[in-house]
Amino acid sequence: MANALAEVRAMGETVELKRYRSLASGSADVVLLFDQNLRLKYASRDTYLLDTAPADTCWKRFLDRIHTSDRMHVMQAQNKVRSTAGSAEHLEFRIATDIGTRYISGRVCNLLQDDSVQGVAFYLSDVTAQWTLDELTELHSRPWFIDRLERTNGSHREIGAMYAVLHIQLNQYHQIRRSFGNDVGQALLRAAADRLRNRLRRADPVARIGENTFGVIMEHVQSISDAEQFAANIADLMDAPFFVCGQELCATVSVGIAASQSVDGSPEDVLQAAAISVRGARPRGHSYHTTYEARAQEQAKQRLLLELDLRSALTRGEFHLVYQPIHDVQNERVAGCEALIRWIHPEKGFISPATFIPVAEEAGLINDIGEWVLHEACRQSQRWRGSGLELLKIGVNISAAQLHPEFLTVVDSVLDETGINPRCLKLEVTETSIIDSPEEATDTLLALKQRGIGLALDDFGTGFSSLSYLHRFPFDTIKIDRAFIKHLGTQESDGKDEALVKTIVGLGQNLSMSTVAEGIESEEQLAMVTSWGCDFGQGYFLARPMKAEQFSEHLRTATLG
């Protein structure tokens, strides 16, 4: 490692001391700092983690020494952290050294925005002596689990026996930790681990394999139905309320199952297959289990590749916004627009938001993407105003993951940076985005309303509690879902859609809320919703989504017709 240290020491003692003070707070045995191009900037001391290598090849040398089964875990953690300033991820992995396999624990942190650091920092400790246990839950650790899985795979393949792997995800962990604090979140994990430990047979290896995930190896199963029955028992067990830190909490689990004989590849591929089966299932309001099917493997692989591309799309500038006009149908004028994100992949071309937004939400990227959309939409609104165009409202869609108290800080920053009048901004929220955490959503929406920001209930009528939401939440606009508009004036219409749209318009009038008919695609549909008293219209008949320059021209010249 002498070459690398010689290079980084050449940067100067004062800079190094300042950097070390920031890094040393991690309290790790070794601190490694890489710049944004993964070139070594700093190492707290000589370490077998890097060995002798020049600074610009240390990252590759570091990865090469990591156990092949753990390498992807480290790479994914590093990629995830780099996409969000100030974020951190826990790490556990094995590394080959001259003195044998060592077990490393620590975290990787994004300190690129820290002026005294400007890098991605790894705080690492050699925990070989205590690597078998996860300190929080007192279950086995992920490295132990992977090692045991490899040995199980070898012994079972030799005799033609089958084993199964269960991937158990505690679904509400992040939401509970955000609402009640980290102490309650950790107590919930310990309680879930205790239930799992008490239900398992002594011979079944179990471990905490992720922040809110557990793994179980079922050895010598006779058929996949044995594992499915066991998973069903775990699901039933976890549905009972948890009592932690004086709180009664409900948390469900999703159990993914994969049998060794149904997966081609390494032992960790079996674990990955169990995780894939959970990701591919539809969310439910109770605990459940689902079994991996080989035909889903390619689909899951493509989803993972999409996630990896998505992590770099924002920094590479692959996103842009288009704007779909919203017309005041009663006064025949443009009243505003809705900002819509578009992704042009450099190799795959256009990727639909319907494809990548769910992946962004699942991967935890939606906050960064949503913040970029909000910034860009508000900046464009101000550009239009600066050129003399009057735009009443610009609408921005908000994901469920954004509806938390920290989002208010983001909004305040955007308002301050762009100078947009809050009354020119309208945030659009779907019914389904607030159904999981209505209390937290209520507080956030009320705070947004107090800032003067408009609030629209999008896709009205497609959720579960529309009328109660209108009463409970401070919306001032109802957007009638296109599903109720598309058959108006067509042969498919049976009169029910007409009655529903009339009812929603009347409801909006009685509650002093404006109404927007989405998906207008014909002159007849426009005439119908206008005659019923709908305030605004949006759809391809009126105008398709367009670039900012095209919208400027549309705003100057558009009339309904």
Residue 267 scores a pLDDT above 90? no
More confident residue, 236 or 261: 236
Task: Kindly state the percentage of the chain with pLDDT values over 70.
Answer: 86
Sign of the C-alpha dihedral computed for residues 280, 282, 287 and 289 taken in this order: negative
Q: What is the pLDDT of residue 561?
A: 43
Residue 46's pLDDT is what? 62
Q: Is the pLDDT of residue 202 over 90?
A: no
Residue count of the chain: 561
- Rounded to an integer, what distance in angstroms lies between the CA atom of residue 492 and that of residue 121? 60
- In three-state secondary structure terms, 133 is strand
CATH class of 2-130: alpha beta
Contact 255, 231 (CB under 8 A): yes
The CA distances from residue 397 to 76, 360, 367, in Å, are 28, 14, 12
Confidence of residue 204 (pLDDT cuts 50, 70, 90): confident
Write out pLDDT tens, residues 304-321: 788 889 988 988 899 999
For residue 337, pLDDT beyond 60: yes
Calculate mean pLDDT across residues 439-454. 88
Least confident of 120-129, 205-214, 284-293: 284-293
The domain made up of 305-557 has a fold known as: TIM Barrel (3.20.20)
User: Residue 406 pLDDT > 90, yes or no?
Assistant: no
Domain with CATH 3.30.450.20 in the chain: 2-130
Q: What is the mean pLDDT of residues 446-458?
A: 93
Tell me: the pLDDT tens digits for 341-399?
A: 999 999 889 999 988 998 888 788 898 999 999 999 999 999 998 888 876 789 999 98
Residue 21 has pLDDT above 50, yes or no: no
| Higher local confidence (pLDDT), 111 or 459 | 111
**pLDDT of 1 strictly over 60:** no
Q: Where in the chain is the domain with CATH 3.20.20.450?
A: 305-557
Kindly indicate the confidence band of residue 147, based on its pLDDT and cuts at 50, 70 and 90. confident
> Given the structure tokens 């990548």, which residue do they identify?
356
- Give, in order, the Cα–Cα distances in Å from 309 to each of 85, 89, 188, 352: 18, 19, 33, 14
> What confidence score (pLDDT) does residue 13 get?
47
Going by pLDDT thresholds of 50, 70 and 90, the confidence category of residue 48 is low
Instruction: Kindly report the backbone phi and psi dihedral angles of residue 460, in degrees, each rounded to the nearest multiple of 5, phi listed first.
Output: -60, 135
Q: Where in the chain is the domain with CATH 3.30.70.270?
A: 142-292
| Burial (CB count <10 Å: 0-12, 13-18, 19+), residue 416 | exposed
CB 125 within 8 A of CB 106: yes
The string over 370-385, giving b where at least 16 C-beta atoms fall within 10 Å of a residue's C-beta and e elsewhere, is: bbebbbbbbebbbebe
Contacts of 28 (CB under 8 A, 6+ apart): 44, 106, 123, 124, 125
- Of 393, 468, 458, 469, the C-alpha closest to 424 is 393
**SS3 state at 292:** coil
| Interval 249-256 mean pLDDT | 88
In whole angstroms, give the CA distance from residue 34 to residue 57: 11
Q: Poorest-confidence range of 3-17, 237-251, 374-388?
A: 3-17
CA-wise closest residue to 90 among 145, 39, 130, 141: 141
pTM listed for this prediction: 0.55
pLDDT band, very low/low/confident/very high, at 260 (cuts 50, 70, 90): confident
Position 263 confidence tier, pLDDT thresholds 50, 70, 90? confident
Give mean pLDDT, residues 76-86.
85
Model confidence at 402, in pLDDT bands (50, 70, 90)?
confident
- What CATH number belongs to 142-292? 3.30.70.270
Mean per-residue pLDDT for 31-38? Answer: 87
pLDDT band for position 12 (cuts 50, 70, 90): very low
pLDDT at 172 > cutoff 70: yes
Choice between 264 and 328, residue whose per-residue pLDDT is larger: 328
Residue 478, pLDDT above cutoff 50: yes
pLDDT at 448: 94
- For residue 265, how far is the Cα from the chain centroid? 28
pLDDT higher than 70, residue 468:
no
Q: Rounded mean pLDDT of the chain?
A: 83
